[in-house]
Amino acid sequence: MAVEEDDVPVEQLLGTVQAAALARRKPGTIRQWANRGHLVERRRDARGWPLYAVQDIYAAEKAARDRDESGRSWEAVNRALPGV
């Protein structure tokens, strides 16, 4: 659950609830993805809540969808997020 500082504009960062809405998942799922390392926390907001990059959310959701359809493990997430 390490914070990865980078050049992602703040406009492209979403909190857990917004990330869940984008991915059409529950907020608890987003937290599980982050805890398992499938979704990288990019920054924290003023209250200390995690923020996730839109492109990472899409990649994690696609990997989860691929896994759901094919029965594969989370290795699809690792391939979708190179360098993370």
Burial of 25-62, coded b for 16+ CB within 10 Å and e otherwise, reads beeebbbebbeeebbbbbbeeeeeebbbbbebbebbbe
What pLDDT is stored for residue 19 in this prediction?
97
Type of residue found at 55: Q
DSSP state of 3: B
pTM for this model (two decimals): 0.74
Using one digit for the tens of pLDDT, what is the confidence trace for 4-58? 556 889 889 999 999 999 999 999 999 999 999 999 999 999 999 999 999 999 9
Domains of the chain by range and CATH? 10-80 (1.10.1660.10)
* Pick from 18, 81, 13: nearest CA to 42: 13
